Amino acid sequence: MDLTFTDAEDGFRAEARSWLEANVPAKPLPSGDTAEGFARHLDWERSLFEARWSVVSWPERYGGRDASLWEWLVFEEEYSRVGAPQRVTQNGIFLLAPTVFEFGTPEQQDRILPRMAAAEDLWCQGWSEPDAGSDLAGIKSRAVRDEAAGGWRVTGQKTWTTRGAFCTHLFGLFRTDPDAERHRGMSYLLIPLKAEGVTVRGVGRLDGDEGFAEVFFEDVFVPDADVLGGVNEGWGVAMATTSSERGLTLRSPGRFTAACDRLVDLCHRQGAVASDPRLRDDVAQAWMDAEAYRLFTLRDITDMVEGRSLGARSSLNKVWWSELDVRLHEAALELLGPLAELDGDAPAAIDGGAWMKGYQFSLSGPIYAGTNEIQRNVIAERLLGLPRK
């Protein structure tokens, strides 16, 4: 066991830190889940790409740095530490990309990945449907074979599509064999949102941003070249994506350790409140929970580097980070007391209202990426071996 970074990794950290400190916008950008904010975030994404920081762990030929998983972790720590903007490209680079690396043909990789890295194509996720949320295998949107045209014709509806109103492309699951057992007849399709027959409607979220969208498909043509993985093998491909979503690639520990550092700073700024033993306990507990997540992921990465599969363990990660994020923000709201409710526009708001905004976002964590009830079922059935029925 060695819990220290190498000199080379420290050098990588110093390089990342100095670039981020020089380039991160001094004033926080408006939320990336609004039309105006999304455009500002794209400028940021493109400057990240130009300096080759947008996808550090990818091969150089796709715009990355061939960084190791440890270096990726270091970059994520530094990124969160300086409070750099949210990654509006995350569903592409953190969720779709690992799946393209694993299942994509060389032609698909060469076509999709460079444009994703450069934030030219912006990907959103098409999983949930009005009648298929936790029961993802219950999706009904259909893709019917069009042999003459060499592809599929898609009809149906996806919903709760994050930043769907601002993105250019969607990846999702569609039923390609209506007669097969329900986990077997699905395929993983890649669809440009400007394709004929696609309609996108934004939906306002609890936190006030227009971050959600409904996406309607009416006889939309998808060529064979845009099926990722085999036809009717979409469930297995999608499970690879959900493993990334639940696990550490979407929510690296730096995000929470940095939030805890800011919580500690808030605790000091709130002065006398810092002497309340219960609030001190809550802050300490949040700090410990974030540190536990960091240490847990060090073990995850060790296992990945040494070729041991994480499997269903990503469900443990997902419950932990999502619930610690809620508790962390609850502690912050208690420190703020009567000022906690203030919106970012309020002159008296502390930290631009970021804690209430963050609290509202944290409450989505136990819901998205598979509800925590589903994760607990996975933990019980696949890690503890309890019977499914």
Partner 1 sequence: MRFAFTDDQLLFRDTVRDLLDKECQPEHVRFAWVDGDGRLPQLWQSLGEMGVLGVQAPDAHGGLGLSELDLVLLLEETGRAGLPDPIVETAAVAVPLLAEVAPPELQAAWLPGLVGGGSLVTTQLGGPLVACADTADLVLAVRAEQVVAVPRAALRLERQPSVDGSRRLFRVDWQDDDAVVLAAGSVAADSRDRAHDRGAVATAAQLLGLGARMLDMTVDYVQERRQFGVPIGSFQAVKHHLADAMLQLEFARPVVYAAAWALATGDPDASRAASHAKAAASDAARFVGRQALQCHGAIGYTVEYDLHLYLKRAWALSATWGDAAFHRRRVAEFVLGPPDLPDRPSRSEEIHHG
Q: Does 330 bind partner 1 (CB under 8 A)?
A: no
Q: Does 272 bind partner 1 (CB under 8 A)?
A: yes
Q: How far is the CB of 56 from partner 1 (least distance, A)?
A: 16
Contact 205, 212 (CB under 8 A): yes
Phi-psi region of 110 (alpha: psi -120 to 50; beta: other; left: phi over 0): alpha
Site string for partner 1, 88-117 (x = CB under 8 A): ------------------------------
- The alpha carbon of 296 is separated from its chain's Cα centroid by a whole number of angstroms, namely 19
Within 146-165, the residues that bind partner 1 by CB under 8 A are: none
Q: Which residues of 186-206 are buried (b: 16+ CB within 10 A; e: fewer)?
A: bbbbbbebeeeebebebeebe
- Judged by CB under 8 A, the residue of 268, 338, 345, 348 near partner 1 is 268
Q: Cβ closer to partner 1: 42 or 367?
A: 367
Contact 169, 191 (CB under 8 A): yes
Euclidean distance between CA atoms 188 and 95, whole angstroms: 13
Q: How far is the CB of 80 from partner 1 (least distance, A)?
A: 17
Q: Does 67 bind partner 1 (CB under 8 A)?
A: no
Q: Cβ closer to partner 1: 71 or 121?
A: 71
What tokens appear for 29 in the block?
């950008």
Please, what is the angle between helix 277-305 and helix 314-336, to 10°? 160
Q: Does 309 bind partner 1 (CB under 8 A)?
A: no
Euclidean distance between CA atoms 370 and 379, whole angstroms: 13
- Judged by CB under 8 A, the residue of 155, 257, 285, 360 near partner 1 is 285
- Judged by CB under 8 A, the residue of 2, 7, 107, 345 near partner 1 is 2
Report which of 50, 47, 44, 14 is spatially closest to residue 32, judged by C-alpha positions: 44
Please, what is the angle between helix 314-336 and helix 234-246, to 10°? 40
- Judged by CB under 8 A, the residue of 110, 281, 341, 343 near partner 1 is 281
- Judged by CB under 8 A, the residue of 40, 52, 70, 208 near partner 1 is 70
β-bridge partners, 125? 171
- Judged by CB under 8 A, the residue of 78, 226, 245, 289 near partner 1 is 289
Q: Does 258 bind partner 1 (CB under 8 A)?
A: no
Report which of 136, 57, 146 is spatially closest to residue 93, judged by C-alpha positions: 57
Q: Does 327 bind partner 1 (CB under 8 A)?
A: no
Please give the positions annotated as active site: 245
Contact 165, 213 (CB under 8 A): yes
Q: Does 239 bind partner 1 (CB under 8 A)?
A: no
Q: How far is the CB of 375 from partner 1 (least distance, A)?
A: 8
Strand 123-126 with 212-223, pairing: unpaired
In terms of C-beta density within 10 A (0-12 exposed, 13-18 middle, 19 or more buried), how is residue 388 classed?
exposed
Q: How far is the CB of 4 from partner 1 (least distance, A)?
A: 7
Query: Residue type at 75?
Result: F
- Judged by CB under 8 A, the residue of 60, 179, 306, 345 near partner 1 is 306
Q: Does 22 bind partner 1 (CB under 8 A)?
A: no
Q: Does 380 bind partner 1 (CB under 8 A)?
A: yes
Euclidean distance between CA atoms 61 and 88, whole angstroms: 22
Site residues (CB under 8 A) for partner 1? 1-6, 9, 70, 264, 267-268, 272, 274-275, 277, 280-281, 283-285, 287-289, 291-293, 295-296, 298-299, 301-303, 306, 316, 319-320, 373, 375-377, 379-381, 383-389
